[in-house]
Amino acid sequence: MWSASAIIGLLIAGIVLGILGRLFAPGEQKIPFWLTIVAGIVGALVGNLIAGWVGVKDTPGIDWWRHIFQIIAAIIAVTIAAALYRPSRARV
Cα 68 to chain centroid distance, Å, stands at: 11
Low-confidence ranges of the chain (pLDDT < 70): 90-92
Tell me how far the alpha carbon of residue 55 is from its chain's centroid: 20
Query: Which pLDDT does position 34 carry in this prediction?
Result: 94
CA distances to 25, 31, 44, 69 from 2, in Å: 30, 28, 15, 23
- What local confidence, expressed as pLDDT, does residue 82 receive? 94
Q: In this predicted model, what pLDDT tens digit does every residue of 53-78 receive, in sequence order? A: 998 877 788 888 999 999 999 999 99
pLDDT of 90 reads 61
Model pLDDT, residue 84: 94
Vertex 69, ends 43 and 11: CA angle to 5°? 30
CA 35/CA 18 separation, integer angstroms: 8
The answer to whether the pTM exceeds 0.75 is yes
Picking from 92, 54, 86, 51, the residue whose alpha carbon sits closest to that of residue 72 is: 51
Q: What is the pLDDT of residue 11?
A: 92
- Per domain, the residue ranges of the chain are 4-84
